[in-house]
Amino acid sequence: MIYEQLGAYIKKNIEISAHDLSIVHSYFKKTEKAKYTVLLSEGQTSPFSFFVGKGCLRIFFINKEGKDVTRYIAFENQLATGLSSFISKLPSAEYIEVIEKAELLYISHDAFNHLMQTVPQWQVFYQLYLEKAYVNTNNRLMSFTTTDATERYAPLLKINPALVKRIPNKIVVSYITISQETLSRLKWKSIQSSSK
């Protein structure tokens, strides 16, 4: 099932033959990880890219004040990696943590690069992935400087309600950089407005 999920995710982004897709599948390995398992720690080189079949991962870093800041949350049918370290092969400034018991596929850096050389459509897929990652990062940075807490929370609830419902409040607040108190107030307002 999880390989079918990966195939659907890839075909949603690019056109790829069944033969080439089977080659891609052969480089991904299956694993299961328990809740709170750390897949990557700060200072380690990111050796893998993960595809989430079931569960949830988060990518975060520790800021100068010692607080964790969530950069990305990956639910089912999404990829997650410490991208800067994965590309550069330098030590990561980020952590990857399992926040719901997860069924994953993973691919090593070397296997990923081998696919780039042997399956031309994989290069196309990777370019699109990098472009989307850049746009998402840019949009998040802009939202932090141009919007207040309410404006950051409302689209999150609309676009990705699973994020708010499935993960702990402390991770939500670290993702949209608001306080626990503000999140509680916004959640209460949302409940009140939906009950009218």
Give yes or no for residue 148 having a pLDDT over 80: no
Whole-angstrom distance, CA of residue 168 vs CA of residue 99 = 9
pTM score of the predicted model: 0.85
Across the range 148-164, mean pLDDT stands at 71
Contact 10/21 with Cβ under 8 angstroms?
yes
The strand pairing partners of 54, in sequence order, are 103
pLDDT tens readout for residues 6-46: 999 999 999 999 999 999 999 999 999 999 999 999 999 99
Which range is least confidently modeled, 4-8, 57-61, 80-84, 192-196?
192-196
Whole-angstrom distance, CA of residue 63 vs CA of residue 67 = 6
Whole-angstrom distance, CA of residue 88 vs CA of residue 36 = 26
Whole-angstrom distance, CA of residue 22 vs CA of residue 116 = 15
Give yes or no for residue 173 having a pLDDT over 90: no
Contacts of 38 (CB under 8 A, 6+ apart): 95, 96, 97, 98
Token readout for 2 is 């999880």
Dihedral (CA of 142, 72, 96, 21) sign: negative
pLDDT of the residue at 51: 97
Give yes or no for residue 156 having a pLDDT over 80: no
| Integer angstrom CA distances of residue 129 from 53, 78, 102, 125 | 18, 11, 22, 6
pLDDT higher at 184 or 33: 33
Token readout for 38 is 């750390």
Residue 190 binned pLDDT confidence (cut-offs 50, 70, 90): low
Q: Give the chain's end-to-end CA distance (angstroms, integer).
A: 41
pLDDT of the residue at 99: 94
